[in-house]
Chain A
Amino acid sequence: MANPDETLFLAINGFVGALPILDRVARWVVSDYLVPVGLALMLIVVWFMKEDRDERAKHQIGVLVALGSMSLSSLVVFILNIYYFRPRPFEDLDVNLLFYQPTDSSFPSNAVAAVSGIAFGIWGVNRAVGWMAISAAGLYGLARVYAGVHYPLDVIAGAAIAIPSAFIIFKLRDLLMPLPLWLIKFARILRLA
């Protein structure tokens, strides 16, 4: 008997083919381009978007925190994958695949951990943009299940890794502060911060 993770995966992936337009949209959303690049562009907007100087500085530190959170999330996934490898759904099940066949471990989702790391980092400094980023990351995770490259638990685990990663980086920012502060001050000389 299939476990609940597989059952849920098959239920979501089973919709593939029902609506061709949905499959087309899923192919865009699941790609390595749309959501990751979209979130990176959000970081550019967050860097400059505030009119008030102090708020802008806070947002710029937030951008660096988001990048740190993404890096920490990816590092945690990398370490986990040394000890645990889960085959992709298409290796074990009859899947409707809308994406290429990745060769790395299915659990946890590295892609979702990375984009969620950015999203939660943005949310830490700007709730409005942060919710947009979290929604995009959530949609990305759902699309990865729909497209047949991850089980739901892989995606949930990826997001679950990103939340404490963002929190840790936020908490450590005072300790790490001289470095981002120097970076921002140097960028101010070049009129870029």
Chain B
Amino acid sequence: MFTFATDYYIGVFISAMGALQLAASLGGLKGLLIFKSPTVSRTLAIALVVAGFVLFFSTGSRNINDYEGGLDAPTQGLFFFLGASTAVLVTLVVSSLVNHRMRGDERDPSTGVEALRDTNYALALARSISYWCKNWRTQTKRYFSR
């Protein structure tokens, strides 16, 4: 049987997967999408967000004090962070595999997530890291100054 914390983590993970797909679809970040069609992506996204909540509330009593098996606010924050981080990681890996053919032009690494419009995440990250390994001495000063 899962504990309250595990249910919390799983619920957040599923809903955050949906939130990320919705955000990527709205932001035109095709490299992060698992499905290419915007309609499918958004429908799946909303379904995942709702599924996370439904799963959490349908698998047990949820209004429990922290000393009776629930979670206090800092622990909830921690489990949200863990669930959302796992969702980000899974999204990055799965979308990189699904979109492995998306190999857009090399851009200035300071454009950040902008590269994910036409490039998969793994390639965009590799290009960024490669650029920074070669140029970190010259770029750091400019990059981290206002």
Contact = CB atoms under 8 A, between A and B. Distances in A.
A53 B11 CA distance: 31
Chain A interface, >50% SS class: helix
Given A45-B19, A50-B27, A100-B64, A28 B57 contact: yes
B28 interface: yes
Contacts, number: 110
Given A33-B56, A45-B22, A185-B143, A191 B121 contact: yes
A187 B115 CA distance: 13
Interface residues of B, number: 48
Chain B interface, >50% SS class: helix
Contacts of B20: 44, 48
A190 B80 contact: no
Of A33, A45, A189, A192, the most chain B CB neighbours within 10 A belong to A33
Interface string B70-114: 110100100010001000100000000000000000000111111
Of A46, A187, A192, the most chain B CB neighbours within 10 A belong to A192
Given A37-B12, A45-B19, A188 B27 contact: no
A16 to B, nearest CB: 14
Of A51, A102, A114, the most chain B CB neighbours within 10 A belong to A51
B128 A189 contact: yes
B70 A48 contact: no
A30 B63 CA distance: 8
Contact of B24 (A27, A32, A48, A102): A48
Given A188-B109, A191-B115, A102 B11 contact: no
A45 B71 contact: no
Interface residues of A, number: 42
A167 interface: no
B49 A41 contact: yes
A188 B107 CA distance: 12
A53 B115 CA distance: 11
Interface string A81-108: 0000000000000000011111100000
Contacts of B114: 53
A128 B82 CA distance: 28
Nearest to B81: A40
Interface of B: 8, 11-12, 15-16, 19-20, 22-24, 26-29, 32, 49, 53, 56-57, 62-65, 68, 70-71, 73, 76, 80, 84, 88, 109-116, 121, 124-125, 128-129, 132, 143-144, 146
Per CB-CB distance, the 6 closest pairs between chain A and chain B, nearest first, are A188-B112, A48-B23, A100-B65, A41-B19, A49-B26, A45-B23
Interface of A: 27-28, 30-34, 36-38, 40-42, 44-51, 53, 56, 98-103, 114, 177-178, 181-182, 185, 187-193
